[in-house]
Amino acid sequence: MTLHFGILCFPAVQQLDLTGPYEVFASATGAKVHLVWKDLEPVRASTGLWLQPDMRFVDAPDFDVLCVPGGAGVNALLTDDETLAFVRDKAAKARFVTSVCTGSLVLGRAGLLRGRRATTHWNAHDFLASFGAVPVRERVVRDGSLITAGGVTSGIDFGLAVVAELIGQEEAETIQLSLEYAPEPPFGAGLPETASPDVLASARARMAGSRREREVLLSAIGPES
């Protein structure tokens, strides 16, 4: 039986939010992964990598897993009625509705987080409550058919967790071993709680522009459509 994964592929997506889970999903037995957008023109990720959508909204089937990655491009999606309508429609028919990083804000704006436990990137975590979500500080959070992941690299952990739910732990572990996913980061600065004050301040400064834009957008339009 073929499992269909649909990953939103939009301009200024954070490429590892997309390519991390893509690599895991595409490695699963019987999986077919689609990069979905309004058209088939290449899109440029937030760090410059070009990505190629292979399926248009209008041609998309119902998916077993719908995944919304994050990135600076999320801000434009928060007021994009066509994309929000697509997410709502496909979410209603998917076995699992999922996000990586700030992709959860799109789910929230689409009205899919009300009363649900969810997570996102640490620099956007405080936005979750405005969508009616129950914010949780964990790397991967499952609430029924909703699975959300924290920032960027958590997409690999998330992908393995989704595969384990759909196919089984042995398949997920086989993929993990095939990818040699045994992270040992050289520094302990991966979370605000473990980073030095100077590093935390530097990271916040780099993301300040996108965060200010989100604050203005959500203040003007409200969290849900």
**Alpha-carbon separation of residue 1 from 4, 28, 64, 164 (angstroms):** 10, 12, 11, 16
User: Closest Cα to residue 65, out of 155, 154, 163, 208?
Assistant: 163
pLDDT at 221 over 90: no
pLDDT at 12 over 70: yes
The pLDDT of residue 1 is 80
Which pLDDT band, with edges at 50, 70 and 90, does 224 fall under?
A: low
pLDDT at 29 over 90: yes
The pLDDT of residue 220 is 87
Structural domain count of the chain: 1
The pLDDT of residue 26 is 98
Which residues lie closer than 8 Å to 114 by C-beta, 6 or more apart? 131, 132, 133, 224
Whether 101 is catalytic: yes
Mean pLDDT of 81-96: 98
Catalytically annotated residue among 9, 66, 78, 101: 101
Identify the CATH number of the domain in which residue 175 sits: 3.40.50.880
E strands present in 26-157: 31-37, 43-44, 50-51, 55-56, 65-68, 96-100, 117-118, 134-135, 140-143, 146-149
Residue numbers of the domain that contains 188: 3-221
Mean pLDDT of 49-64: 98
pLDDT at 99 over 70: yes
| Whole-number Å distance between alpha carbons of 112 and 129 | 13
Neighbouring CB atoms inside 10 A of 30's CB total: 11
pLDDT at 225 over 80: no
**Residues 28/5, Cβ–Cβ less than 8 Å:** no
Query: In percent, how much of the chain has pLDDT > 90?
Result: 96
pLDDT at 17 over 90: yes
Mean pLDDT of 144-156: 97
The pLDDT of residue 102 is 98
